[in-house]
Structure 1
Amino acid sequence: MKSIQLQETGGIETLHQEGVPRPEPGRDEYLVRVHAAGINPLDWLICRGMLPHLLDTDLPWIPGWDVSGVIESVGTNVTEFDPGDAVCGMSRLPGAGGAFAEYTTMSDDEITAKPDSLSHEEAAAVPMAGQTAFHALYNEGGLNTGEALFVHAAAGGVGHMAVQFASHTGARVIGTASGRNEEILRDLGVDEFVNYREERFEDVLDGVDFVLDAVGGDVLERSIEIVQPGGVVVTLPEPPSQEAVRRYQDENNADVRFFDVIMDSDPVTLQQVAAHVEAGVVTPRVSDVYPLSEVQDALDRSAEGHVRGKLVVNLSEATDD
């Protein structure tokens, strides 16, 4: 089968298309024929050797975590899905991966039924970003109706889904992005828009209940300034130190929390996200689709940032065994 393999953790340029044997599912696994795979920052970060603790397997290795496809065959111990069923999901970490190939193996707790309303390309854009947004808003942040939520990078993969979830909840949604994204974000549910290229958000906002920080760095520090006493900041890129968390609490009465989709994703959240998608609450936006042979270009584009919605790899045209 066709696959994209990481030869060494020296960068995206070490990825190469290779023919490899089709994997065999274990007793507790499904063999999934991959129709589309989502692109995530995690992909290029690992390729560049920036997250070595998540790569617990020998090279060469097939990256990719977000999958939409069809069950090809089933192990003897799994009964939830049958051959021919359309599914989507996310491989667990550390290790795993395998989405950038014609076939991959996945377990019961990594997949759910693909929403009928979505194409495979759209469904591949959902698992990691959707789980991150949902878990950060509700499990970590406890978002409620009527609260003011400020979403950084609101047009990005996680951000554009968080905006839709929050709008459905009845929150007042404020989003930051470049000016070219204002119209689409207002269509998705943003009530107030901040163009980060023209103004600093801390100069125009104050007293928000909840900040979702998908950027990190000094954005976290600056976000503390706009949270009202007792407010919450959920940050995604990296965990703040315990010392910083205590300082934010003592000096600003702000509760700073970290959510790590890499280690804390779960089948219940995946199913909840899929149900919201099927109900029309959330619609993933796919900005560009790449063939398997152009995965390097897709990862380069992701690494540059400023992607609207999600990038996806289409494998439905691959025919090799």
Structure 2
Amino acid sequence: MDTPIDRNSELSMKKVVYNQFGERDVLEVASSDIPSPQEGEVLIRVHGAGLNPIDWKTRNGFGFVAQQIENALPWTPGYDVAGEVVAIGDGVTTLVPGDRVMGLVGFPLNGGGYAEYALTAADELAVVPEELDLVTAGALPLAALTAWQALFEVAELEAGQKILVHAGAGGVGHLAVQFALARGAHVIATASAGNRDFLAELGVHEVIDYNTTDFAEECFGLDVVLDLVGGDTGKRSLRTLGDSGMLVTIPTVTADEVVSAAETQGLRAHGMTVRPDVFHLEEIAELIEDGDVKVHIEKAFTLDQVAQAHELLEGGHVRGKLVLDCS
């Protein structure tokens, strides 16, 4: 039996949709019925919905997701949500209305995060620590899980190892450096000069200004490189690895060429694709509770400002994360 929704008798909700691929002007805010949770599902009143590079790339018709959904438009983007549980479906025993939750939802083909309400499987949700407001929490799941899985599943980063994180001040990067520091690694990051102090405050040991310094001349014998840039940067990073070091490259469009370059040099490199994992999210939440990790929000936008949010997102060079405030 569904738990009844009592949100001032709301009958409809706002959500972002696009009916065709294209530039930012294809993004629309539409009204639709509030969905009801089915068995094993939870309905969330969304407070924060994170923005990620995959959102604008898919909107433009690029990549795997776009190929899969092109005959299923209109589509609502967004995979990161945080908010309050307002209704539960049959069989849900772990959550109750009023719980503060976050998750990587609808990934990769359903989306649905850019909305006032979102449906998701109950087992994809983690409880949001009291130390984190729900709008900020909405920016966390995809970037945090990407960083976590790259560092600890693929690269198997350990205490005492040396790691280089490219684009260390970005969405994935600023979380990755904090996770690596919490694990006891020696952390080097590339960033622009304007982000040096930001990264130093997070505890990064060495910051390399990529505009003035060649990281490949500065770094050698590294255990891990987390490549969040791809392409030539990823390939040049191979020179910095120690004999048993590993490079993990995230941008999928250049992953094959980076991995191939590593193979020809007898070095180890891997691409990766993030996946939902509530246990990893819970571990990340513990680090936030303990004060070891902070989520930096550069700017929050309303649903009606989604085109402006995508403009900033597409420009790159965002410090930390962008988020839609749907509360």
Q: How far 1:111 sits from its partner (Å)?
A: 1.0
Q: How far 1:10 sits from its partner (Å)?
A: 1.6
Letter in 1 for 2:270: R
Q: Does the CA-based 8 Å contact 2:21-2:60 persist in structure 1?
A: yes
Number of the residue aligned with 2:304: 293
- Aligned mate of 1:61, from 49, 52, 75: 75
Partner Cα separation in structure 1 for residue 165 and residue 18 of structure 2: 34
Partner Cα separation in structure 2 for residue 92 and residue 21 of structure 1: 18
Number of the residue aligned with 2:284: 273
Letter in 2 for 1:265: P
TM, length-normalised to structure 2: 0.91
Partner Cα separation in structure 2 for residue 121 and residue 104 of structure 1: 14
Q: 1:212 to 1:4 in 2, by over 3 A?
A: same
2:33 match: secondary structure: coil
Worse-superposed segment, 176-185 or 119-128: 119-128
Partner Cα separation in structure 2 for residue 245 and residue 35 of structure 1: 39
Q: 1:140-179 counterparts in 2 under 5 A?
A: 140-179=154-193
Letter in 2 for 1:4: V
Q: How far 1:197 sits from its partner (Å)?
A: 1.0
Partner Cα separation in structure 1 for residue 202 and residue 168 of structure 2: 10
Partner Cα separation in structure 2 for residue 220 and residue 281 of structure 1: 28
* Total equivalences in the alignment: 312
1:29-74 Cα offsets, whole Å, 9 max, x none, are: 1010001111111111110000223537621111111101000100
1:114-159 Cα offsets, whole Å, 9 max, x none, are: 1111011211121001111111110110111111100000000000
2:44 match: secondary structure: strand
- Is residue 2:309 matched to residue 1:259? no
Q: How far 1:245 sits from its partner (Å)?
A: 3.6
- Aligned mate of 1:23, from 32, 35, 50: 35
1:217-250 Cα offsets, whole Å, 9 max, x none, are: 1111100011111110011011633x86465245
- Is residue 2:50 matched to residue 1:38? yes
- Is residue 2:194 matched to residue 1:191? no
Partner Cα separation in structure 2 for residue 275 and residue 194 of structure 1: 30
1:133 match: secondary structure: helix
Number of the residue aligned with 2:105: 91
Partner Cα separation in structure 2 for residue 244 and residue 185 of structure 1: 26
Q: 1:108 to 1:12 in 2, by over 3 A?
A: same
Partner Cα separation in structure 2 for residue 64 and residue 75 of structure 1: 22
1:90-118 Cα offsets, whole Å, 9 max, x none, are: 11423211111111101123211111110
Worse-superposed segment, 303-312 or 61-70: 61-70
Q: How far 1:257 sits from its partner (Å)?
A: 1.1
1:64 match: secondary structure: coil
Q: How far 1:13 sits from its partner (Å)?
A: 1.5
The CA RMSD over aligned residues, in Å, is 1.6
Partner Cα separation in structure 1 for residue 87 and residue 44 of structure 2: 7
Give 5+ residue unaligned stretches, structure 1: 317-321
Number of the residue aligned with 1:240: 255
2:223 match: secondary structure: strand
1:72-100 Cα offsets, whole Å, 9 max, x none, are: 10001211100111101111423211111
Q: Does the CA-based 8 Å contact 2:148-2:280 persist in structure 1?
A: yes
Partner Cα separation in structure 2 for residue 92 and residue 153 of structure 1: 27
Number of the residue aligned with 1:130: 144
Q: How far 1:12 sits from its partner (Å)?
A: 2.2
Runs of 4+, deviation exceeding 6 Å? none
Number of the residue aligned with 1:49: 61
Worse-superposed segment, 268-277 or 147-156: 268-277
Partner Cα separation in structure 2 for residue 55 and residue 209 of structure 1: 39
Q: 1:175 to 1:54 in 2, by over 3 A?
A: farther
- Is residue 2:230 matched to residue 1:216? yes
State percent identity of aligned pairs: 38
Q: Does the CA-based 8 Å contact 1:37-1:67 persist in structure 2?
A: yes
Partner Cα separation in structure 2 for residue 133 and residue 54 of structure 1: 25
Number of the residue aligned with 1:319: none
Q: 1:244 to 1:301 in 2, by over 3 A?
A: closer
1:240 match: secondary structure: helix
Number of the residue aligned with 2:319: 308
Q: Does the CA-based 8 Å contact 1:54-1:94 persist in structure 2?
A: no
Partner Cα separation in structure 2 for residue 247 and residue 42 of structure 1: 25
